[in-house]
C-alpha cells in the first residue's frame, strides 16, 4: 500500500553519483547541479535543476524537492 502523503527521500551525493554511474556518466569531481544536469540529459529530460525560479511544470520530477532550494 502506498501512502500519498509520504515525502520522497532526498538523494544524497553518493546516491546521485551511483545513479550517474548506472547511466554511464563518470561523476569525477562534478558539483551536484552539474551532475544532476548530466543525469537529466542522459534521461532525455530538460537540464533544468536549480534554474526554475520557483516555477516548474514537472510535478513528478525526481529532483523537484531539492530544485527549488538550489541556484545552479
- pLDDT tens across 12-64, in order? 899 999 999 999 999 999 999 999 999 999 999 989 998 888 788 888 888 88
Sign, CA dihedral 8-13-15-16, equals positive
> How sure is the predictor about 67, in pLDDT bands with cuts at 50, 70 and 90?
confident
Query: Which has more pLDDT, 42 or 7?
Result: 42
38 closest CA partner among 62, 21, 60, 51: 21
* pTM reported for the whole predicted model: 0.80
Contact predicate 58/23, CB 8 Å:
no
Q: Where are the domains of the chain?
A: 13-67
Amino acid at each position: 500500500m502506498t501512502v500519498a502523503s509520504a515525502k520522497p527521500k532526498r538523494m544524497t551525493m553518493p546516491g546521485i553519483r551511483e545513479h550517474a554511474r548506472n547511466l554511464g556518466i563518470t561523476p569525477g569531481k562534478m558539483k551536484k547541479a552539474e551532475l544532476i544536469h548530466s543525469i537529466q540529459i542522459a534521461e532525455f529530460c530538460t537540464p533544468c535543476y536549480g534554474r526554475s525560479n520557483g516555477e516548474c511544470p514537472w510535478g513528478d520530477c525526481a529532483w523537484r524537492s531539492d530544485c527549488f532550494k538550489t541556484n545552479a
